[in-house]
Structure formats: structure tokens, C-alpha cells
Amino acid sequence: MSPYFSKSRNIELSTIYYFETQIAASWAGINVVKSFAQVSSVALPVVCIRLLDTISVKKEIGNTAFQNTHGIIIDIFAKSDGQRIDLADFILSKLETNWTYYIHSHTSGNPAVLDRVADGKVNLLSITVNRRIDFTENVEEQDRFRHVISFLVTKYD
């Protein structure tokens, strides 16, 4: 098994790393997690970032290679409506520029430690969803001030 991750996984991990560093530099006490299952195991506020899907289209007529577009979703679980709005605006402002694409690996042998080497940029194509999630009755605390942002990215070869 190769110690290097797939391009899709590197897109996801590069995006998570980018937002972890951006959020940590500007906010205190915000937990960033990779999977929806981790949201309930950490204190609010939480930003959950994950790869949703990959769309593959042929690069050009006659070419057998694909250009992949990756759907990323960010769920914000805030403590208040104001914090939800501020976090959403902050995240959107960080989407205005491309971020570093890293090739990740487990070369140390320790699965908890990732090595990363820069290899280009993750390019934002479009923001597809930016909205508050409204629930009706009996909302759990973590879902009371929830927001979702989804967007499409690619890495050009």
C-alpha cells in the first residue's frame, strides 16, 4: 500500500488544513473536524469540513483523461446566530483566494502524523450553497445555530 493519498483525499485534507490554519489565526475556541460523526464529540462552536462528491468529465474531446471537480461542504455549528453569521462570512472571505494543494502521506509510519508537500493550488470554481439550516421543533443544541456552505473546487494538472 502506498503511503501517499489519492488526489481526492489530498483535496479534502488540503482544504481542511487551510481552514484549520485560517480559523486558528483569527478565532479562539473553534473546533475544526473532518467528519460529521466528530461534531457531537467536541464542544461548540464546530466547523466540519468534508469532501461530498467528485464529478469527472473528460479533459477534452479525444482525451481519455478526466478533469475532476470536487464538492466540498462546510457545516458550521455555532453558539449563537451572530457567531453563525460571522463564521460564515469569515469562511466565505477565505474562499476568495485559492489555497495550497498538498500531497499528504504517512511516511513516518505513525497514522496520526501527516507529512505534506506543496504541489500547486486548489482552485475555487463556484459556491453552490450558503445558507442557514432551519429546523422546526425540538432542535438539539448543536443544530440550533447551524449553517452550511458548499462549493466546487479543482486542481488543474
Model pLDDT for residues 72-99, shown as the tens digit of each residue: 999 999 999 999 999 999 999 999 999 9
pTM for the full predicted model: 0.91
pLDDT value at 1 more than 70: no
| CA-based nearest residue to 33, from 4, 113, 25, 41 | 41
7-154 fold = STM4215-like (3.30.2000)
| CA-based nearest residue to 2, from 112, 104, 116, 154 | 104
Q: Could you state, in order of their start, the residue ranges of all structural domains in the chain?
A: 7-154
pLDDT value at 150 more than 70: yes
DSSP conformational letter for 20: H
Q: Taking the CB of residue 77, how many other CB atoms lie within 10 A of it?
A: 26
Beta-strand runs (E) in the chain = 31-33, 46-58, 66-78, 99-105, 115-133, 145-154
Whole-number Å distance between alpha carbons of 157 and 142: 39
